[in-house]
Structure 1
């Protein structure tokens, strides 16, 4: 480019005169950048080359006069623009990364760990205990109802198809999340301004119900999607579908298709009709609200939608859908829990905590309760208390019935569980009174005494500052032990305790099954220490079992709803606690209590019955514990506040209750004799002579005091 003293000259090409003004450009901003596309505009702003000729409208090149200062300014601006561009890109990139990290942390920082597949059957379950009898008949349900686990492959096709059509038509196509359905639902909800669609797959619903909280937020939705995709990688489609069908809430405390089929229609799932299945499949949207409507408007509308979707998917024909939509929905009557078994359910729960390290949340417990025996025991107790007990100050009671094999057949912890949950059969610690004398006499028989052994009933100081008195306040002189026990003579029981030792009496009671703490005081002979009805009945079982200890049990088996056996009782050889001679002697004496003594009200025609009455001071407690060769049972009457009754003795109302309930219970049994009752006395001539002597002596003593004899036979017989 030629230069002189005035500067350099620039050459330009010839252009038409009318465009000269437009083509002489002094600054790059004079270029018509808006004529370029937007990318070219950005490039021209940050990367324009000053000496590069621009193209005019007609393809002519343009050049501008060069000036060094202008060029330098242009380069400076260009560097600044480029630096700004780079800084902007870096800022946006870093900001995007930081935002991404923060968003990720916000969405997934508290993401729960997905449980293992086998754990998903138990996670987030409310504890549910279903009690069934030995035949598998449901007796009572505590908590939600979880039906038996069903396998989708074992169900009719239309059951699975109904749920898929209702909730997730692309179930077998997606990998846990259906993003098309999510975006479609989000757009529909945005347009409506409220939630009108859901985009969750069946897998997402499993995650939502079992793993996550029910909150409806972006965070929970993102976690739901991520965990659903993880679950799809761990379980097959059939396993996920099985989880869904068995864990989904379907209203009325029912979880799973099996429970819902039983609750609403009283059927097994495979027996449901198409109309019934589609009705149940309609419930997951809002189960509580839908079933609360007596007209089932929302449920039937949802049902018709499901039927139409099944037609669209080719699962059923239009005619089948039309018939199902017109079929009436008829529910079976609701089954309420049996109030007579509430105390039993509490006891079962306590026993489960002892037997198992952890109670399964869907426990199915097979128990030994005989519902007929339970009803008979409760009815007899209630009738006696309401007809006679209230007038005599007896406001409550309890009853226990055990089979000779250890099965607990009935447990009545009180008249009304709703008023008091206290179980008086297993929890009430009460003085047993004379019913404890069975252990005194058992220890005496074991020490070598016999039912015909004679002791003198008289006022004497048995221990320091303690002289026991009889119920009547009178004494009969020489008396055989079997008669002393039959008529519940206190002085003889106290003498025997001192003879054999209070420690041995306590040991005998514990050996036979009394589990409560007992102190070896002389007054233990009269039942001064407290125990429970449960323990007394158990301990008397050794007499009915010919010397084998009775180990009662209520729980036979524990399973979960999938049929896995968690616990099953195993039979084991019983402990031998009494020899046969002692058992026969005790049965003979306790049999006379019922036939000739204080327990006559308990006598049942055709049955050999043995037992013992018990009454505590001021008539605060009244007992009768009795048994046959096959059933052992006990009854207690009293008041929770320990208030005295109006002369209620063990031989009166408790023996009457025992008789009434056992008369019903024993109808299912065949009478068999108790060892020792009705035996022929195998005594030597010397022993027979001694017995005759004491018989004559006792008869002479009684003949000299006829008033006392009358009192003994009338008042003591009620004891």
Structure 2
């Protein structure tokens, strides 16, 4: 017996020593490669990029991992209890390793021959999640144990728990308990019930298997087991236990809901952040504040959508998106579930047609009414210029089973509608510094991600003419100069081609003042101006507004706006008229903050100085950068000193141009804007050949806004559609909202201007008694003398200059 006892004794000692030697050897072998636990204090968890409006409304979130780190002090005690009950109820007592759990895991391995559980404590899971892989091997397990022991020596229990709850994956791209609470319940972990906390506490074991969205039954079983553990351990009383058990599984999928619908703005901000930081833009938790205030963006969204819908309905109904007759309600519901809302237009299926209107099935499963009055516009679309007969009853428009689009009003009623075929873009800038205040790149980002405001190069038509007129004013012309509005022919003797430009009305007015020619948008006057000042001079001059000279046509069609430019480029160039002659660069990102709230970048754009009363002559430089979205300096490099914008235009020229562009609205092609009842608006319409592009650019001293409308694949908008009928109404709706309750605000009149009475027949200073004389603005050095002071054969200030490089020309 003694020999047997001695044998067992020495056997135990041998086994113990063997284990001790093995563990010591493993420690000596593995410890040099173990990472420093101290790095856990400064480790950076992946946090998505978030983009906000200037008034702190969330626009978008970018990143694969949804994570919102939470401090230990903000974690509800009930959740900590639920988590420890499920994962590690001995957490407060062990030192990183629970021998009982390890022995249980080893026993299961010996019995089954397979790893059933890892016997890991929360500390060991922190070690694995932050430093190791998920590989199932003994060396990885030993490294996990060694790291857990180190972590317990250097970090407090609270710090360990905080690391754990912010790192763990909990399904549906949610990392950390705060993100999981938002994903499954749409609220903070602090606002969850006990049952909901227990549900989330059950996810770390198997996020897919116990996911309440995928498998609510197993999720409830896991939740109830955790509640039972909490009750058994005395953490909750019976009343709370029973109440939590009876609570249904009410989890549903919640994505971060943008507070402001500005997807084109968000995409531009995302692209700029990737350009600055590369792939880290998605993981470093950057907080980007844009220059866009929410109320202006919402006004722009509404204006573009309603403007396109109004245009679309003027051209008739193109029929249902598809027809699904003879199907069951359940089949219709399944079909509706596949559809998505486009630009606020919801899908619906016609279920009943009556004389007073129709009944439609919506995605909510409800049947709702559409009144006949909202369907009367739906004449059949034949082509862009032709419509079918007016419908007399709902049955003339739709049939049962038609998949249509409806527009929901604020009072909940539905209007009959369809997705517009045309597109539009809107850009609104602060002309004082180039800040983008609103931007819309199309009818719906869900329909098309293509940003027409910044990417679509289209011909601006007559909205480009102010740059030609401005060049002429700085070349000696005045607003009173008479130019002949008469036919003109250009012949290319080498190609045997003839170009006969014409006015849109095919009429000719003869000698006409520049001011009147601009507000009447006379094409032939613009061409004669360009011919007189010279193409090379004009190109150098226009380049100074931020346009790429190499992309502008080197022929007289330039005067008619045949250059291909984006709305953003047009808006950037027009800003000089609105701010008194300064070049500003459009920019979007106002500030970038780190995950900790530290400021990494604050925009410091070139801005118009406060004192703009001086009006020096401005030389025209030979080269100027392209007017695209600005790319500010590297993060943190912005100077705290204000940057003064470059003056590119004589302040007097800018002021006279504003006065002339005001007449476009008072008596020209922009007269529709008179209903806005404002005296401080200036602008210009633009329509290209066959009405393929519709434009309006306009401003006061507060906002400069450019609107384009047309088809993505250029085609006519219709023979009766122009800049004043398509783009201008959108501009008016937006600017009415933007300028609501704001006083009139125009650029300050600079020094060096004169107001003189002018003879309408000669364009020269009127003598007393001249009939129909009118007042006109002049630069002091360009004011015309009265006829009585002119000597025979002398030149007249402000008269046309000779052309520098005119093509062969015939006049008739």
TM-score by length of 2: 0.64
C-alpha deviation, 1:350, in angstroms: 1.2
Q: Which residue of 2 aligns with 1:606?
A: 677
C-alpha deviation, 1:646, in angstroms: 3.0
1:134 partnered with 2:54:
yes
Gaps of 5+ in 2: 8-17, 317-382, 386-420, 494-498, 606-641, 775-812
Which of 461, 464, 470 is matched with 1:442 structurally?
Answer: 470
Which of 398, 408, 432 is matched with 2:425 structurally?
Answer: 398
RMSD: 4.3
Please give the secondary structure, in 1, of the residue aligned with 2:580. coil
Q: Matches of 2:695 and 2:69 in 1, distance apart?
A: 47
Which of 553, 559, 563 is matched with 1:525 structurally?
Answer: 559
Instruction: Specify whether residues 229 and 382 from structure 1 end up closer, same or farther in structure 2 by C-alpha distance, changes over 3 A only.
Output: farther
1:494 partnered with 2:559:
no
Instruction: Specify whether residues 559 and 415 from structure 1 end up closer, same or farther in structure 2 by C-alpha distance, changes over 3 A only.
Output: same
Q: Which residue of 2 aligns with 1:365?
A: 288
Q: Which residue of 1 aligns with 2:639?
A: none
Q: How many residues align?
A: 604
Q: Matches of 2:425 and 2:722 in 1, distance apart?
A: 15
1:275 partnered with 2:303:
no
1:480 partnered with 2:513:
yes
For residues 380-422 of structure 1, the C-alpha deviation after alignment (integer angstroms, 9 at most, x for no partner) is 2431343236753863222223344544333222223334322
1:585 partnered with 2:577:
no
Q: Matches of 1:440 and 1:682 in 2, distance apart?
A: 22
Q: Matches of 1:318 and 1:616 in 2, distance apart?
A: 77
Q: Which residue of 1 aligns with 2:373?
A: none
Q: Matches of 2:758 and 2:671 in 1, distance apart?
A: 33
1:642 partnered with 2:714:
yes
Kept after mapping to 2: 8 A contact 1:611/1:625: yes
C-alpha deviation, 1:427, in angstroms: 0.9
Q: Which residue of 2 aligns with 1:68?
A: none
Instruction: Specify whether residues 360 and 476 from structure 1 end up closer, same or farther in structure 2 by C-alpha distance, changes over 3 A only.
Output: same
Q: Matches of 1:228 and 1:385 in 2, distance apart?
A: 68
Kept after mapping to 1: 8 A contact 2:213/2:253: no
Q: Matches of 2:538 and 2:124 in 1, distance apart?
A: 67
Please give the secondary structure, in 2, of the residue aligned with 1:636. strand
1:376 partnered with 2:323:
no
Q: Which residue of 2 aligns with 1:354?
A: 275
Larger Rg: 1
Kept after mapping to 2: 8 A contact 1:130/1:364: yes
Q: Which residue of 2 aligns with 1:249?
A: 169
Kept after mapping to 2: 8 A contact 1:340/1:378: no
Kept after mapping to 1: 8 A contact 2:427/2:706: yes
Q: Matches of 1:389 and 1:657 in 2, distance apart?
A: 17
Which of 686, 695, 705 is matched with 1:623 structurally?
Answer: 695
Kept after mapping to 1: 8 A contact 2:693/2:710: yes
Please give the secondary structure, in 2, of the residue aligned with 1:582. helix
Q: Which residue of 2 aligns with 1:553?
A: 587
For residues 177-231 of structure 1, the C-alpha deviation after alignment (integer angstroms, 9 at most, x for no partner) is 4454233234346657777645223334334445544454555545544555565
Q: Matches of 1:418 and 1:142 in 2, distance apart?
A: 16
Please give the secondary structure, in 2, of the residue aligned with 1:670. coil
Q: Matches of 1:239 and 1:590 in 2, distance apart?
A: 66
Which of 168, 179, 187 is matched with 2:107 structurally?
Answer: 187
Instruction: Specify whether residues 507 and 318 from structure 1 end up closer, same or farther in structure 2 by C-alpha distance, changes over 3 A only.
Output: farther
Which of 517, 538, 542 is matched with 1:505 structurally?
Answer: 538
C-alpha deviation, 1:639, in angstroms: 2.5
Q: Matches of 1:693 and 1:676 in 2, distance apart?
A: 25
Q: Matches of 2:447 and 2:650 in 1, distance apart?
A: 45
Which of 538, 542, 550 is matched with 2:572 structurally?
Answer: 538
Q: Matches of 1:108 and 1:381 in 2, distance apart?
A: 69
Gaps of 5+ in 1: 1-34, 41-92, 700-719
Q: Matches of 1:546 and 1:429 in 2, distance apart?
A: 27
Q: Which residue of 2 aligns with 1:408?
A: 436
Kept after mapping to 2: 8 A contact 1:408/1:552: yes
C-alpha deviation, 1:152, in angstroms: 0.3
For residues 515-571 of structure 1, the C-alpha deviation after alignment (integer angstroms, 9 at most, x for no partner) is 685346133222222111111122222322233434333223333544344333346
Kept after mapping to 2: 8 A contact 1:374/1:409: no
Kept after mapping to 1: 8 A contact 2:760/2:773: no
C-alpha deviation, 1:283, in angstroms: 2.2
C-alpha deviation, 1:246, in angstroms: 2.3
Instruction: Specify whether residues 300 and 637 from structure 1 end up closer, same or farther in structure 2 by C-alpha distance, changes over 3 A only.
Output: same
For residues 682-707 of structure 1, the C-alpha deviation after alignment (integer angstroms, 9 at most, x for no partner) is 424577895478998999xxxxxxxx
1:417 partnered with 2:438:
no
C-alpha deviation, 1:113, in angstroms: 9.3
Q: Which residue of 2 aligns with 1:80?
A: none
Q: Which moved more, 1:438-447 or 1:267-276?
A: 267-276
Q: Which residue of 1 aligns with 2:206?
A: 286
Please give the secondary structure, in 2, of the residue aligned with 1:400. strand
Which of 568, 571, 575 is matched with 2:645 structurally?
Answer: 575
Please give the secondary structure, in 2, of the residue aligned with 1:633. strand
C-alpha deviation, 1:426, in angstroms: 0.7
Q: Which residue of 1 aligns with 2:666?
A: 595
Q: Matches of 1:189 and 1:409 in 2, distance apart?
A: 64
Kept after mapping to 2: 8 A contact 1:494/1:522: no
1:662 partnered with 2:696:
no
Please give the secondary structure, in 1, of the residue aligned with 2:488. coil
TM-score by length of 1: 0.72
Please give the secondary structure, in 1, of the residue aligned with 2:204. helix
Q: Which moved more, 1:227-236 or 1:266-275?
A: 227-236
Kept after mapping to 1: 8 A contact 2:682/2:700: yes
Please give the secondary structure, in 1, of the residue aligned with 2:564. coil
Instruction: Specify whether residues 326 and 655 from structure 1 end up closer, same or farther in structure 2 by C-alpha distance, changes over 3 A only.
Output: same
Q: Which residue of 2 aligns with 1:203?
A: 123
For residues 218-274 of structure 1, the C-alpha deviation after alignment (integer angstroms, 9 at most, x for no partner) is 555455445555655665544333232223233343322332333344444434443
C-alpha deviation, 1:507, in angstroms: 4.1
Q: Which residue of 1 aligns with 2:780?
A: none
Kept after mapping to 1: 8 A contact 2:540/2:549: no
C-alpha deviation, 1:623, in angstroms: 1.6
Q: Matches of 2:549 and 2:111 in 1, distance apart?
A: 72
For residues 665-716 of structure 1, the C-alpha deviation after alignment (integer angstroms, 9 at most, x for no partner) is 443x514132389x9x9424577895478998999xxxxxxxxxxxxxxxxx
Instruction: Specify whether residues 330 and 601 from structure 1 end up closer, same or farther in structure 2 by C-alpha distance, changes over 3 A only.
Output: same
Please give the secondary structure, in 2, of the residue aligned with 1:471. coil
Kept after mapping to 2: 8 A contact 1:360/1:560: no
For residues 649-672 of structure 1, the C-alpha deviation after alignment (integer angstroms, 9 at most, x for no partner) is 3222122222234334443x5141
For residues 355-397 of structure 1, the C-alpha deviation after alignment (integer angstroms, 9 at most, x for no partner) is 4464251333333432422431342243134323675386322
